[in-house]
């Protein structure tokens, strides 16, 4: 019931003034009607009547706060955080992570499922459906109040169709995610590449909030990026914008899964870091990791390398710093291409951020062309490993809170 009202009201909100007001309440609330009128330059009666619709749809509530200086106490408006919820899913190469959040991005439930080896598209879709049912059931919220499902998927994603065109690490193609999930759950479904979803999450809730331009890098099993220009996510002509893991850093480097040689992700992804440490261990390099893996190289993981680095192990520290130098080269290339205000780094490898950042910043400082370019801000994601799932949530919020009219207006 509530969802129907909400859906109806979101349809209504495809009007520039309603979404303008809703966004101001989202960004600045609790806020009074008078303040909204001042900020939007709408007349007080217009604001009142539009706020009334938002109150009826229960997406906004009134708070009696604040001291009045004589006269009536001002009534403040805020988003109805408790009422509506969003599901965000991150489909990586090995795991499916799913979260349920409030419409302000507060995580209420989180589940992680391993994706079985050699899963078919149908098996993956079944796992997605099961995870959605479980995350909603486990959170105790009413399914009627879940407004949408966002999906961040590694690989090439057709955003218009909501389909995964190619998921290289699962070796799957043409998965009709949006169609299947909409049929099953009867709510809005949006699908996006994981790196791009992550950048949208940073724009909505994280270290990209309020920035006009930034690039968000997802460094994990692969390396991808989302590029925000003029406050908007850039997709490119054929959905491959941001595939920086396949930016060639060394034409004589090792072969990549894509077939080319010397791609950035052959040097700085999680598997590349693990491979590099294994190679040194096989050559007999002394390291705490020999003991930590009981001499079994197959048990070596990125987490163990990070742990060893924390204990001061030179091989672990040097390898992470070396990965940082390669990331720094990739980031310098990005700075020269996009010239963003800030670079944000998330994903599994960013958990070792303290060992990467110094060499990243040093490399950019050595290589970038101008003084301001050298000083481009570089920081870690606010959400670490949850960054893509948060981005998937932001896909739905962007759909709900942004009217096509206001997008067009913003472009002018």
| Choice between 97 and 246, CB closer to Zn ion | 246
Q: Quick count: other Cβ atoms within 10 Å of Cβ 70? A: 4
CA–CA separation, 353 and 346 (whole Å) = 9
Cβ at position 259, least distance to Zn ion in Å: 7
| Residue matched to tokens 């109806």 | 8
| Choice between 266 and 406, CB closer to Zn ion | 266
For residue 48, CA distances in Å to 17, 18, 43, 69, 74 come to: 12, 11, 9, 22, 14
263 binds Zn ion (CB under 5 A): yes
Nearest CA to 185 out of 112, 123, 113, 135 is that of 135
State which of positions 324-353 bind Zn ion (CB under 5 A): none
CA–CA separation, 97 and 88 (whole Å) = 8
Cβ at position 366, least distance to Zn ion in Å: 25
Cβ at position 53, least distance to Zn ion in Å: 50
Cβ at position 263, least distance to Zn ion in Å: 3
289 binds Zn ion (CB under 5 A): no
| Choice between 13 and 256, CB closer to Zn ion | 256
Residues 242-261: x where in contact with Zn ion by CB under 5 A, - otherwise, as a string: ----x---------x-x-x-
For residue 153, CA distances in Å to 81, 107, 128, 190, 402 come to: 27, 20, 12, 11, 22
| Choice between 200 and 263, CB closer to Zn ion | 263
107 binds Zn ion (CB under 5 A): no
Beta-strand relationship, 223-229 and 214-219: antiparallel
Structural contact between residues 40 and 20, judged by C-beta atoms closer than 8 angstroms: yes
Q: How many positions of this chain bind Zn ion (CB under 5 A)?
A: 5
State which of positions 160-179 bind Zn ion (CB under 5 A): none
| Choice between 240 and 369, CB closer to Zn ion | 240
| Choice between 103 and 263, CB closer to Zn ion | 263
b/e burial code for range 267-291 (CB count within 10 A of at least 16 → b)? bbbbbbbbebbeebbeeeeebbbbe
- Footprint on this chain of Zn ion (rule: CB under 5 A): 246, 256, 258, 260, 263
């Amino acid at each position: 019931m509530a969802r129907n009202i909400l859906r109806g009201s979101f349809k209504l909100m495809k009007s520039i003034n309603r979404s303008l007001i809703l966004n101001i309440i989202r960004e600045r609330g609790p806020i009074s009607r008078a303040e909204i009128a001042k900020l939007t330059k709408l007349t007080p009666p217009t604001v009142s009547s539009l706020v009334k619709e938002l109150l009826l749809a229960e997406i906004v509530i009134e708070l009696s706060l604040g001291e009045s200086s004589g006269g009536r106490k001002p009534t403040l408006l805020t988003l109805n955080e408790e009422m509506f919820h969003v599901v965000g899913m991150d489909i990586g190469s090995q795991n499916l992570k799913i979260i349920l959040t409030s419409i302000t991005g507060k995580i209420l439930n989180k589940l992680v499922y391993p994706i079985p080896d050699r899963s078919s598209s149908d098996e993956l879709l079944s796992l997605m459906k099961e995870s959605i049912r479980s995350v909603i059931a486990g959170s105790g919220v009413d399914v009627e109040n879940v407004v949408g499902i966002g999906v961040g998927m590694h690989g090439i994603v057709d955003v218009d169709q909501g389909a995964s065109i190619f998921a290289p690490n699962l070796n799957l193609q043409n998965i009709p995610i949006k169609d299947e999930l909409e049929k099953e759950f009867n709510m809005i479904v949006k699908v996006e590449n994981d790196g791009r979803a992550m950048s949208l999450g940073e724009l909505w809730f994280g270290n990209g909030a309020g920035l006009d331009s930034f690039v968000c890098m997802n460094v994990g099993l692969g390396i991808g990026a989302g590029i925000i220009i003029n406050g908007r996510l850039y997709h490119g002509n054929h959905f491959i914008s941001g595939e920086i893991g396949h930016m060639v850093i060394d034409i004589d480097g090792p072969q990549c899964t894509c077939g080319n040689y010397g791609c950035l992700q052959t040097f700085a992804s999680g598997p590349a870091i693990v491979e590099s440490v294994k190679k040194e261990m096989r050559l007999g390099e002394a390291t705490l990791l020999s003991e930590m893996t009981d001499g079994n190289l197959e048990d070596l993981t990125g987490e163990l390398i990070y742990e060893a680095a924390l204990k001061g192990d030179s091989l672990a520290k040097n390898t992470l710093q070396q990965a940082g130098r390669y990331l720094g080269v990739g980031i310098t290339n990005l700075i020269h291409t996009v010239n963003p205000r800030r670079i944000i780094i998330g994903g599994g490898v960013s958990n070792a951020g303290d060992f990467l950042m110094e060499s990243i910043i040093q490399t950019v400082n050595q290589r970038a062309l101008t003084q301001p370019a050298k000083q481009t801000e570089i920081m870690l994601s606010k959400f670490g490993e949850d960054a893509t799932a948060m981005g998937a949530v932001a896909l739905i919020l962007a759909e709900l809170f942004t009217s096509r009219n206001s997008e067009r207006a913003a472009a002018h």
